[in-house]
Protein backbone atom coordinates (compact mmCIF):
# COMPACT_ATOMS: atom_id res chain seq x y z
CA UNK A 1 0.00 0.00 0.00
CA UNK A 2 1.15 3.49 -0.77
CA UNK A 3 2.11 5.73 2.10
CA UNK A 4 -0.86 8.11 1.88
CA UNK A 5 -3.48 5.42 1.33
CA UNK A 6 -6.79 6.41 2.87
CA UNK A 7 -5.76 10.04 3.36
CA UNK A 8 -7.61 12.98 1.84
CA UNK A 9 -5.75 16.09 0.69
CA UNK A 10 -6.90 19.46 -0.57
CA UNK A 11 -4.53 21.48 -2.75
CA UNK A 12 -5.47 25.08 -3.54
CA UNK A 13 -4.60 26.18 -7.05
CA UNK A 14 -4.19 22.64 -8.32
CA UNK A 15 -5.11 23.25 -11.95
CA UNK A 16 -1.65 24.30 -13.12
CA UNK A 17 1.98 24.67 -12.14
CA UNK A 18 3.24 23.70 -8.71
CA UNK A 19 -0.24 22.90 -7.37
CA UNK A 20 -0.92 20.51 -10.25
CA UNK A 21 2.38 18.70 -9.56
CA UNK A 22 1.58 18.52 -5.84
CA UNK A 23 -1.92 17.15 -6.48
CA UNK A 24 -0.60 14.45 -8.84
CA UNK A 25 2.27 13.51 -6.52
CA UNK A 26 0.03 13.16 -3.45
CA UNK A 27 -2.29 10.96 -5.52
CA UNK A 28 0.69 8.86 -6.68
CA UNK A 29 1.54 8.41 -3.03
CA UNK A 30 -1.96 7.11 -2.38
CA UNK A 31 -4.10 10.08 -1.31
CA UNK A 32 -7.51 11.07 -2.58
CA UNK A 33 -7.08 14.66 -3.73
CA UNK A 34 -9.29 17.72 -4.08
CA UNK A 35 -7.94 20.67 -5.99
CA UNK A 36 -9.28 24.18 -6.24
CA UNK A 37 -8.99 26.62 -9.11
CA UNK A 38 -10.43 29.96 -10.17
CA UNK A 39 -10.50 30.11 -13.98
CA UNK A 40 -9.05 26.92 -15.43
CA UNK A 41 -12.03 24.58 -15.21
CA UNK A 42 -10.77 22.39 -18.05
CA UNK A 43 -7.25 22.11 -16.68
CA UNK A 44 -8.62 21.33 -13.22
CA UNK A 45 -10.92 18.64 -14.62
CA UNK A 46 -7.99 17.13 -16.52
CA UNK A 47 -5.86 16.93 -13.36
CA UNK A 48 -8.76 15.33 -11.49
CA UNK A 49 -9.17 12.88 -14.36
CA UNK A 50 -5.49 11.84 -14.14
CA UNK A 51 -5.90 11.29 -10.41
CA UNK A 52 -8.97 9.11 -10.94
CA UNK A 53 -7.01 7.14 -13.54
CA UNK A 54 -4.58 6.29 -10.72
CA UNK A 55 -7.49 4.75 -8.84
CA UNK A 56 -7.94 7.60 -6.36
CA UNK A 57 -10.91 9.81 -5.71
CA UNK A 58 -10.57 13.38 -6.97
CA UNK A 59 -12.56 16.57 -6.80
CA UNK A 60 -12.05 19.75 -8.83
CA UNK A 61 -13.67 22.60 -6.95
CA UNK A 62 -14.00 26.13 -8.24
CA UNK A 63 -13.12 28.44 -5.36
CA UNK A 64 -11.66 31.92 -5.77
CA UNK A 65 -9.08 32.30 -3.02
CA UNK A 66 -9.93 36.01 -2.90
CA UNK A 67 -13.37 35.05 -1.58
CA UNK A 68 -13.25 33.80 2.01
CA UNK A 69 -16.68 32.18 1.82
CA UNK A 70 -15.68 30.22 -1.27
CA UNK A 71 -12.51 28.99 0.45
CA UNK A 72 -14.44 27.77 3.51
CA UNK A 73 -17.14 26.16 1.41
CA UNK A 74 -14.55 24.30 -0.67
CA UNK A 75 -12.96 22.82 2.45
CA UNK A 76 -16.36 21.95 3.93
CA UNK A 77 -17.51 20.35 0.70
CA UNK A 78 -14.41 18.19 0.32
CA UNK A 79 -14.59 17.05 3.95
CA UNK A 80 -18.29 16.26 3.57
CA UNK A 81 -17.92 14.36 0.31
CA UNK A 82 -14.77 12.47 1.26
CA UNK A 83 -15.69 11.91 4.89
CA UNK A 84 -12.36 13.20 6.23
CA UNK A 85 -9.51 15.65 5.70
CA UNK A 86 -5.87 14.98 6.47
CA UNK A 87 -3.70 17.29 4.38
CA UNK A 88 -4.12 20.89 3.25
CA UNK A 89 -1.65 22.43 0.84
CA UNK A 90 -2.07 26.19 0.56
CA UNK A 91 -0.53 26.74 -2.85
CA UNK A 92 -2.76 29.14 -4.82
CA UNK A 93 -0.99 32.46 -5.10
CA UNK A 94 -0.37 35.42 -7.34
CA UNK A 95 2.76 37.42 -7.95
CA UNK A 96 2.36 41.15 -8.32
CA UNK A 97 5.66 42.94 -8.64
CA UNK A 98 6.12 46.69 -8.93
CA UNK A 99 7.80 49.74 -7.50
CA UNK A 100 6.50 50.33 -4.01
CA UNK A 101 4.95 53.71 -4.83
CA UNK A 102 3.15 52.29 -7.87
CA UNK A 103 1.26 49.52 -6.08
CA UNK A 104 -2.42 50.40 -5.63
CA UNK A 105 -4.54 49.68 -2.61
CA UNK A 106 -6.39 47.23 -4.84
CA UNK A 107 -3.12 45.41 -5.61
CA UNK A 108 -2.28 45.27 -1.92
CA UNK A 109 -5.69 43.90 -0.91
CA UNK A 110 -5.78 41.38 -3.72
CA UNK A 111 -2.33 39.93 -3.00
CA UNK A 112 -2.89 39.83 0.75
CA UNK A 113 -6.32 38.25 0.33
CA UNK A 114 -5.13 35.48 -1.99
CA UNK A 115 -1.64 34.84 -0.62
CA UNK A 116 -2.26 35.35 3.11
CA UNK A 117 -5.93 35.48 4.09
CA UNK A 118 -6.92 32.43 2.04
CA UNK A 119 -4.24 30.15 3.57
CA UNK A 120 -5.28 31.42 7.00
CA UNK A 121 -8.96 30.71 6.38
CA UNK A 122 -8.37 27.36 4.64
CA UNK A 123 -6.22 26.24 7.58
CA UNK A 124 -8.90 27.34 10.05
CA UNK A 125 -11.56 25.46 8.13
CA UNK A 126 -9.43 22.35 7.59
CA UNK A 127 -8.26 21.79 11.17
CA UNK A 128 -11.87 21.35 12.24
CA UNK A 129 -11.84 18.09 10.26
CA UNK A 130 -8.36 16.87 11.22
CA UNK A 131 -9.29 14.42 13.94
CA UNK A 132 -6.41 11.94 13.96
CA UNK A 133 -3.61 14.41 13.26
CA UNK A 134 -3.00 16.24 10.03
CA UNK A 135 -0.68 18.19 7.80
CA UNK A 136 -0.75 21.85 6.83
CA UNK A 137 1.75 22.76 4.14
CA UNK A 138 2.03 26.36 3.00
CA UNK A 139 3.76 27.39 -0.20
CA UNK A 140 5.78 30.54 0.31
CA UNK A 141 8.58 31.86 -1.87
CA UNK A 142 12.34 32.26 -1.89
CA UNK A 143 11.57 35.98 -1.93
CA UNK A 144 10.53 35.67 1.71
CA UNK A 145 14.18 34.87 2.49
CA UNK A 146 16.02 37.02 0.01
CA UNK A 147 14.70 39.99 -1.93
CA UNK A 148 17.39 40.02 -4.58
CA UNK A 149 15.89 42.62 -6.92
CA UNK A 150 13.56 45.63 -6.63
CA UNK A 151 9.78 45.40 -7.01
CA UNK A 152 9.12 42.68 -4.47
CA UNK A 153 7.70 44.67 -1.56
CA UNK A 154 4.12 43.43 -1.82
CA UNK A 155 4.83 39.84 -2.85
CA UNK A 156 7.59 39.40 -0.24
CA UNK A 157 5.34 40.92 2.43
CA UNK A 158 2.64 38.39 1.61
CA UNK A 159 4.97 35.39 1.58
CA UNK A 160 6.77 36.45 4.76
CA UNK A 161 3.41 36.53 6.57
CA UNK A 162 3.19 32.76 6.04
CA UNK A 163 6.14 32.32 8.40
CA UNK A 164 4.11 33.69 11.30
CA UNK A 165 1.07 31.66 10.32
CA UNK A 166 3.04 28.43 9.91
CA UNK A 167 4.94 28.74 13.18
CA UNK A 168 1.81 29.65 15.13
CA UNK A 169 -0.18 26.78 13.68
CA UNK A 170 2.69 24.40 14.48
CA UNK A 171 2.81 25.56 18.10
CA UNK A 172 -0.93 25.57 18.60
CA UNK A 173 -1.85 22.36 16.80
CA UNK A 174 1.14 20.22 17.76
CA UNK A 175 -0.71 18.69 20.72
CA UNK A 176 -3.35 17.46 18.25
CA UNK A 177 -0.77 15.76 16.05
CA UNK A 178 -1.14 18.35 13.30
CA UNK A 179 2.07 19.62 11.73
CA UNK A 180 2.45 22.89 9.85
CA UNK A 181 5.34 23.67 7.56
CA UNK A 182 6.36 26.20 4.94
CA UNK A 183 7.98 25.35 1.62
CA UNK A 184 9.78 28.13 -0.24
CA UNK A 185 10.10 27.40 -3.96
CA UNK A 186 12.78 29.17 -5.96
CA UNK A 187 12.43 29.99 -9.66
CA UNK A 188 10.18 27.19 -10.85
CA UNK A 189 9.08 26.64 -14.45
CA UNK A 190 5.34 27.47 -14.53
CA UNK A 191 2.95 29.86 -16.27
CA UNK A 192 3.70 32.35 -13.48
CA UNK A 193 7.44 32.15 -14.04
CA UNK A 194 8.32 30.78 -17.48
CA UNK A 195 12.00 29.89 -17.82
CA UNK A 196 12.10 31.81 -21.11
CA UNK A 197 10.42 34.92 -19.76
CA UNK A 198 11.95 38.34 -19.14
CA UNK A 199 13.93 38.22 -15.95
CA UNK A 200 14.48 34.46 -16.24
CA UNK A 201 18.22 34.74 -16.85
CA UNK A 202 18.57 37.04 -13.85
CA UNK A 203 16.71 34.54 -11.67
CA UNK A 204 18.84 31.65 -12.93
CA UNK A 205 21.97 33.64 -12.08
CA UNK A 206 20.67 34.25 -8.56
CA UNK A 207 20.44 30.52 -7.84
CA UNK A 208 23.43 28.41 -6.79
CA UNK A 209 22.55 25.66 -9.24
CA UNK A 210 22.17 28.02 -12.18
CA UNK A 211 18.86 26.72 -13.47
CA UNK A 212 15.11 26.68 -12.86
CA UNK A 213 13.41 24.00 -10.83
CA UNK A 214 10.45 21.92 -11.93
CA UNK A 215 7.05 21.83 -10.20
CA UNK A 216 7.78 18.19 -9.34
CA UNK A 217 10.83 19.30 -7.32
CA UNK A 218 8.56 21.28 -5.01
CA UNK A 219 5.99 18.47 -5.00
CA UNK A 220 8.62 15.99 -3.78
CA UNK A 221 9.28 18.04 -0.66
CA UNK A 222 5.56 18.56 -0.06
CA UNK A 223 5.06 14.79 -0.35
CA UNK A 224 7.84 14.18 2.15
CA UNK A 225 6.20 16.53 4.65
CA UNK A 226 2.75 15.06 3.98
CA UNK A 227 3.84 11.49 4.55
CA UNK A 228 4.97 9.56 7.57
CA UNK A 229 8.56 10.66 6.92
CA UNK A 230 7.50 14.18 7.87
CA UNK A 231 5.91 13.27 11.17
CA UNK A 232 8.55 14.99 13.36
CA UNK A 233 8.90 18.09 11.17
CA UNK A 234 6.76 21.03 12.22
CA UNK A 235 7.11 24.79 12.26
CA UNK A 236 9.89 24.41 9.71
CA UNK A 237 10.71 26.37 6.61
CA UNK A 238 12.21 24.33 3.80
CA UNK A 239 13.68 25.94 0.71
CA UNK A 240 13.40 24.16 -2.62
CA UNK A 241 15.06 27.03 -4.40
CA UNK A 242 18.23 25.86 -6.09
CA UNK A 243 20.17 27.91 -3.57
CA UNK A 244 18.47 31.23 -4.38
CA UNK A 245 18.62 32.22 -0.70
CA UNK A 246 22.04 30.69 0.00
- What is the C-alpha to C-alpha distance for residues 137 and 229, in angstroms, rounded to an integer? 14
Residue closer to ligand NDP (CB basis): 53 or 192: 192
Query: 2: exposed, middle or buried (C-beta count within 10 Å: 0-12, 13-18, 19+)?
Result: middle
Tell me the per-residue interface mask from 177 to 196 with ligand NDP, x by CB under 6 A, - otherwise.
--------x-xx-xxxx---
- Active-site residue flag, 155: yes
| Radius of gyration, alpha carbons of the chain | 17
Please count the helices (runs of H) and the strands (runs of E) in the chain.
Answer: 8, 7
C-alpha dihedral, 159 to 153 to 113 to 91, nearest 10°? -30
| Footprint (CB under 6 A) of ligand NDP, residues 51-110 | 64-66, 91-95
- Look at the alpha carbons of 163, 167, 173, 174 in this order and tell me if their dihedral is positive or negative: positive
Q: Which is nearer to ligand NDP, 68 or 95 (CB)?
A: 95
- Residue 37 within binding range of ligand NDP, rule CB under 6 A: yes
Nearer to ligand NDP, 93 or 176 (CB): 93
Distance of CA 62 to the CA centre of its chain: 16
| Binders of ligand NDP in range 120-179 (CB under 6 A) | 139, 141-142
Q: How far is the CB of 166 from ligand NDP (least distance, A)?
A: 14
Choose the stretch contacting ligand NDP; rule: CB under 6 A; options: 14-22, 99-107, 168-176, 223-231: 14-22
Query: What is the contact surface with ligand NDP in residues (CB under 6 A)?
Result: 13-19, 36-40, 43, 64-66, 91-95, 114, 139, 141-142, 185, 187-188, 190-193
Amino acid sequence: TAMLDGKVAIVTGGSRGIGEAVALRLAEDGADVALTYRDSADRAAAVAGRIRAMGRRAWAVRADSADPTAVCEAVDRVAAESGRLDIVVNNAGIGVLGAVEDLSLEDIDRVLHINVRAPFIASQAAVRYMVGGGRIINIGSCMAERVAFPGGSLYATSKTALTGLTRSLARELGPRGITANLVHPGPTETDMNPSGGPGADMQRDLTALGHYGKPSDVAATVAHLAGDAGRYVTGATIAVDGGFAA
